[in-house]
Amino acid sequence: MIQTCLFPAAGYGTRFLPATKSLPKEMLPILTKPLIHYGVDEALEAGMSNMAFVTGRGKRALEDYFDISYELEHQISGSSKESLLSEIRNLMQKCTFSFTRQKTMKGLGDAINKGRTLVGDEAFGVILADDLCINEDGVGVMSQLLEVYEKYRCSIVAVMEVDKEDVSKYGIVEGKYIEDNLLIVNDMVEKPNSNETNSNLAIIGRYILTPNIFHFLDKTKPGKNGEIQITDALLKEAKDGMVMAYKFKGKRFDCGSIKGFVEATKYFYELQYGNE
């Protein structure tokens, strides 16, 4: 069983300016729940109850969201509105929340490395909350990764096929299939040009990482865009031992983009209110 899920949440969310000038992008709501809430739900479903956040300046709303709001709760206590808080209250009872900060933006790899103090010396999940995933007919993506982890005990990334012209937006994986949906990674490159890779298997924001990754992150130099990339550290781990890529079941919305965010909103609206 993996206890901890790490949520790198230090990014600026510039694509949603001006909304994200004072609101963390992870707090943007799909219907009534912020993106981060969906991520925490998915982690909890996978049995992870220690939620660890790497935040940055201007992200205090995340901490407040997972805390009691006495004034608000007092105001609506006994009214019909009380039930609107029951889901988040329930979540808060089942989880612990811890926070640390990434002081300078040095990339996803650096953010994950900053989470080390919260994670300890055990395997952990990673969820990038702006990749919103849902598997309507079965278990969530983190639970799927956990099942693979329990069998192979190595770092695993969730992947999906993307159009060739989109490979430059993702970490791209090449490897050898050992099961229908599972590959052993032999190459990985962060946001390649389409002529730099033959693969269209893109990493989405779900990982299970072994604590070894911190050792490789310490040795990883700035890569794409001058940032420390988790993809580069994972390639080191793949070469040294083993990393797997798992083609997940379900849907993923890129809620870091306006198009993906609107698509997710429509999808969840249909799901929740479609029959009304």
**Footprint of ligand G1P (CB under 6 A):** 108, 128, 131, 170-171, 190, 202-205, 229, 231
Nearer to ligand G1P, 142 or 203 (CB): 203
Nearer to ligand G1P, 33 or 191 (CB): 191
Nearer to ligand G1P, 24 or 171 (CB): 171
Nearer to ligand G1P, 91 or 235 (CB): 235
- Residue 69 has φ and ψ, to the nearest 5°, of -110, 90
Q: Does residue 159 sit in helix, strand or coil? A: strand
Q: For the CB of residue 157, give the shortest distance to ligand G1P in the complex, in Å.
A: 8
In contact, 129 and 41? CB cutoff 8 Å: no
Cα–Cα distance between 208 and 145 in angstroms, integer? 7
Q: For the CB of residue 172, give the shortest distance to ligand G1P in the complex, in Å.
A: 8
| Residue 208 bridge partners (DSSP) | 125, 156
| Residue 33 bridge partners (DSSP) | 30
Residue with tokens 């940055």: 56
Nearer to ligand G1P, 132 or 154 (CB): 132
Residue nearest ligand G1P, Cβ-based? 171
Structural tokens at position 106: 């040095």
Q: For the CB of residue 256, give the shortest distance to ligand G1P in the complex, in Å.
A: 6
Q: For the CB of residue 109, give the shortest distance to ligand G1P in the complex, in Å.
A: 8
Plot region of 267 (φ>0 → left; ψ -120 to 50 → alpha; else → beta) = alpha
Q: For the CB of residue 255, give the shortest distance to ligand G1P in the complex, in Å.
A: 10
